[in-house]
Structure 1
């Protein structure tokens, strides 16, 4: 029996010293918490960028050298709505559920693709956001199985 349960363990769940053994959560589960916090931050930043585009018309300048598919008003609404969705999906990652991980990967992919369009307008910021989105996708896909039901904390 000790081969299956480990040396010194018994069926009562107590270790060799009579203390209860606690299942340790994988240290990689912290990456899921990191991804959730990062998505909330990125979502808030995108929502703020959308609000600025909608209410402060002179802040962003769209010249002929930038290939924007939408008008500045359209991109403002896209960033505002997309930012809220990304922040909510990041908060949902704390549940550890499979659906939250799937939505988080889809939102991070969408955010990265959106910032790919803005690469010529804001190269440094867009590159940073794309890199952070790749980190979120990696954390969720590679370490998603380390999530337990409930909070990843």
Structure 2
């Protein structure tokens, strides 16, 4: 899918994929912040059907998702602001969150699958846009 030839307010070619990836990155970040708070507050949330914790302890997962979510929100806002570095940071953060969601497939298969699909779309939106494009 080619980017539009329209110019954005910052001078670069406008990319709907970047705008979409930025907004979806913010949404996923909000979900991850909520997931982090839940892990810190509700200790039995991240249990598998066998009753075992997936990896680490509750506080570690809670802080991981909380920090990852806040970073994703910041990077999503930076993507919308036209910051080039945010595209690379967004791909890295989405990749890390993707790995984390694969770890939760046993505990929350539907939610993890939805989150994985959203993260794949974020990555695609960030890499599909042409060089120099902005999504403001």
Does the CA contact (< 8 Å) of 1:43 and 1:87 recur in 2?
A: yes
Are residues 102 and 125 of structure 1, via their aligned partners in 2, closer, same or farther at CA, if it must alter by over 3 Å? same
Q: Which residue of 2 aligns with 1:57?
A: 43
Distance 2:52 2:118 in 1: 23
Q: Which residue of 1 aligns with 2:20?
A: 34
2:88 aligned residue: 102
Query: Which secondary structure does the structure 2 equivalent of 1:145 belong to?
Result: coil
Q: Select the residue among 24, 40, 50 that pairs with 2:6.
A: 24
Q: Tell which has more relative contact order, 1 or 2 (C-alpha 8 A, sep 6+).
A: 2
| 1:82 is aligned to 2:68 | yes
CA RMSD of aligned residues (A): 2.3
Equivalent residue number for residue 133 of structure 1: 119
In the alignment, the residues of structure 1 paired with residue 79 and residue 131 of structure 2 have an alpha-carbon distance, to the nearest angstrom, of 12
Paired position in structure 1 for 2:106: 120
SS of structure 2 residue aligned to 1:79: helix
Deviation at 1:57, TM superposition (A): 2.7
Query: Unaligned regions of 5+ residues in structure 2, if any?
Result: none
| Alignment equivalent of 1:111, drawn from 90, 97, 110 | 97
The CA deviation at 1:63 is: 5.8
Residue 95 of structure 1: CA displacement?
Answer: 2.5
TM-score, scaled to structure 2: 0.82
Shift of residue 114, structure 1, vs aligned partner: 0.6
Aligned length: 128
Structure whose CA Rg is larger: 1
SS in 2 for 1:121: coil
Task: Find the partner of 1:147 among 128, 133, 136.
Answer: 133
